Amino acid sequence: MSTAVILMNLGTPAEPTAPAVRKFLRDFLSDPRVVEIPRLVWLPILHGIILPLRPRKIAPAYAEIWNSGLDGAPVEGAPLLYYTRRQAELLQESLAEKRPDIRVDYAMTYGAPQLEDVVERLQREGFDSFMVFPLYPQYSATTTGSIYDQVARIYRSNRNIPNISVVHNYYQHPLYVKALANSVREHRQKHGVADKLLLSFHGIPKANVDKGDPYYQQCRETAEHLAAELGLEEDQWQLCFQSRFGKAEWLQPYTDKTLIEWGKKGVGSVDVICPAFAADCLETIEEIAEENRANFIEAGGGEYRYIPTLNLRQDHIEMLAEIVEEKLPAARKHTG
């Protein structure tokens, strides 16, 4: 069998304009995995309120980071797409010596390139076995679950069904935890040790967890593993959740409220890391690195520092390569 590994991330608008953002949000927020409100209730809200108004507010934020990611670092287009594409290229290089038979590509859950299109192209090139690798360390039905849905649609639409496996999660993989810890240590070597380390994960509605989504517990375990790896005491770190949307209760504690509370208490310095993200994007760059910095400082806090996601770190790419090797069936491993 000829095997292809397809890295997958959330996706991004095709360009930093209101029409492009509207199309992206329409696809994203129409997904029943993302918003579980009954369609008869949700779709009128989405098409009547959110899509006419929200894209005009978000497009300028995309424009600010387009071609220039965190701290103005040059990237090509949207940072999320750029980093995912480069991760695929670097993973290909990392696997080249041991597994020259493997092709590495990438796709997006929403926007381009779509998984189905990538699989069809690779099939035409002779690949008949696929490992889909969601870049979500912690599983949630709202993220990795949607990727399983896309795989199912490929099965339904093909008479000759390809062999596809999906990496379910890697939230406690030793190399993942070590890469996170290394990023914190290197940050501390440059900037010193902050009073608090805040581990901010993307939030989901609490109701999702109540219904069985394992995301909260996996985030909890990632945070505890990282704290143990860094030798942190309980009062030195905090698990929080960001990016809530709507009026329903989401996973708590909330990142923004925690930072405001710390600011009011006069916390002298805080480092913030987002372990659930494999690549910096609008959410980490604009919401965490900028917006929440302002919240913390305006509330009376001292120094605020954002630790970038794993992005293109060598230990991150080595971790991805190790997981690929672990997940491939022994019968398909290259022995030459």
Binding-site residue positions for Fe(2+): 202, 283
Nearest C-alpha neighbor of 195 from the set 71, 310, 308, 301 = 301
- With a CB cutoff of 8 Å and minimum separation 6, the contacts of 201 are 138, 219, 222, 223, 239, 240, 241, 242, 251, 274, 275, 276
Alpha carbons 292 and 305: distance in angstroms, whole number = 10
DSSP letters of 109-152?
Answer: EESSSBHHHHHHHHHHTT--EEEEEES-SS--TTTHHHHHHHHH
Binding residues: 202, 283
Alpha carbons 111 and 37: distance in angstroms, whole number = 22
DSSP state letter for 76: S
For residue 97, give the amino acid letter: E
The upper half-sphere exposure of residue 125, i.e. CA atoms within 13 Å in the direction of its Cβ, equals: 16
Instruction: Quote the tokens at residue 283.
Output: 């959410």
Instruction: Quote the tokens at residue 198.
Output: 């805040």
Nearest C-alpha neighbor of 306 from the set 319, 295, 292, 324 = 292
Give Dmax (Cα) for the chain.
Answer: 63
